[in-house]
Every structure is written in structure tokens, then in C-alpha cells.
Amino acid sequence: MSEPTRRLAVLGDGDPAAAIRSAVDGAGARLVDHTEADAVVAVGDAALRKAMRAAATDDGRSSPILPIGDGRHAVNPDLAADRIADADDWLGGSASAVDGFARVPHPVLAVDGTGDGRRRFAAADVAFVTAEPARISEYGIAFSDGESVSVRADGAVIATPLGSDGYAAAAGGPVVSPGGGLSVVPVSPFTTRPETWVASGGVRVTVEREAEPVALVVDGERRGTVEPHRAVGVEIAATVDLLSATAE
């Protein structure tokens, strides 16, 4: 009896994604929907974030994700296409590393307490920003270790390691390695000595002023307005294994 065919999902558009689908077909693997896949190949940042958010909502079922692109955590498209033929190697078992790849856990964030009863997920970052440009509000940030701070700023962003080199870094925050915590950064703070933090767990953010409406932005998409004085929780909902190329 032949071995069962590995099932792969490929997310993304354009020529790079088409080339990966051809490589999957040529390797004898079966293309399926991401909900049925043994692993997901995500081509581009948007596809990677979609795959990670989906993994967090799949009732604990988490397939490893191979990110393809030019980002910090992504694999070069040519290398990925060459290695699709070795899918049995990098899908098999739970080893932390296989030949040429490491399985690195990355967190996915859940946002709760916005007042509308909906739970939202973020692979990269969650931002609280004043709806009108260059308008200051005040944010209370409570950390899981009991520490709390209050900052006056245009906003505040909480980023996973995956997203810490994006909006959070542009706002002056640290770039965090996988497993290093969450980057917590005020946006344009009203102070000459701004502080940033690396949180070991989740945080709770409260808008402490009613003067300016504050928007909730999840992975770069506006998802409503945050009510003043209502604590919004940003917690690690799940971890997803990304396959990262190791040094040869």
C-alpha cells in the first residue's frame, strides 16, 4: 500500500503563488483547502497573516506554515519551490528542526472586551489610535505582572515578534525575536523621554479620555471604535509553528 499523500494548502496570489502550486503538483502532494491541510504555504505577508489567524480559530488544530517572501521570517521563493519535494521531511513529526528548516512557534493575539461581543485575532499587531490625525488621547496599559502605566499619545500598539519590525518599530519600539514577548509601544507620545516595553504576557488597554474617539486597528485593518474607560484585553490566543530556513 502506498504512503498517504501529503496535503498542502497554498495561500496567496500572483506568479509566486502559481509557481508554488506547480511545485506542489510536481512533488505529488495534494492541494487542499487550508482547513484540511497538513501544512500551509503562505505566499506574501497578507497570506501569512490570514493563515495564522485561521490557525487560531481552528479549535486547536494547528498545521505548520511555510511563509514565502522577502520578510524577516519568510523563505526565499526559489528555495521554497525546491524544498516542496521534501515535504515529508519538514511536515513529519514534532521535531524542532529538520534539514534546512526550523519549526519556530509564533503567537497569535486575541482582542476581547470591545463591547460588541466579537473576538478578533491578530498575527502582527493590535493598535489603538485616535481617529483624527495628530490628536492626543490617554491610554492606561496594564501588564500581566501587575504593573500598569498611563501614557498620553496619539495611540498605542501591541505587536507580536512577527509584527514587531513593522508599525511598532516605526513608532520606536524594539524588534523582538520569536519567544521574546510582545512589543508594547506608544505612538507619538507627548513626552521627551518616551518608554517602550516588552511584555511577557498579554496586556489590557483602556482609553482614559472621552474627548477624542479612538479606533481599533487589527493587522492594519480598522475594526471599530474603542469605548472610553472600557478595558480591552490583548492576549496570546494560540501559537502557530512557522517553518524558517536555517543557516546552511
- The pLDDT of residue 91: 55
- The pLDDT of residue 59: 58
Are the C-beta atoms of residues 80 and 62 closer than 8 Å to each other? no
- All three cell numbers of 206: 483602556
- The pLDDT of residue 38: 82
- The pLDDT of residue 88: 54
- The pLDDT of residue 61: 57
CA separation for the pair 34, 57 (Å, rounded): 12
- For residue 84, count CB atoms less than 10 angstroms from its CB and return exposed for 0-12, middle for 13-18, buried for 19 or more: buried
CA separation for the pair 192, 195 (Å, rounded): 10
- Tell me the pLDDT tens digit for each residue of 17-62: 998 888 888 877 888 888 888 889 999 999 999 999 988 876 555 6
Helical residues (DSSP H) of 74-225, grouped into ranges = 77-83, 87-91, 167-170
DSSP 187-240: ES-SSSS---EEESS-EEEEE--SSS-EEEEETTEEEEEEPTT--EEEEEEEEE
Low-confidence ranges of the chain (pLDDT < 50): 1-2, 93-98
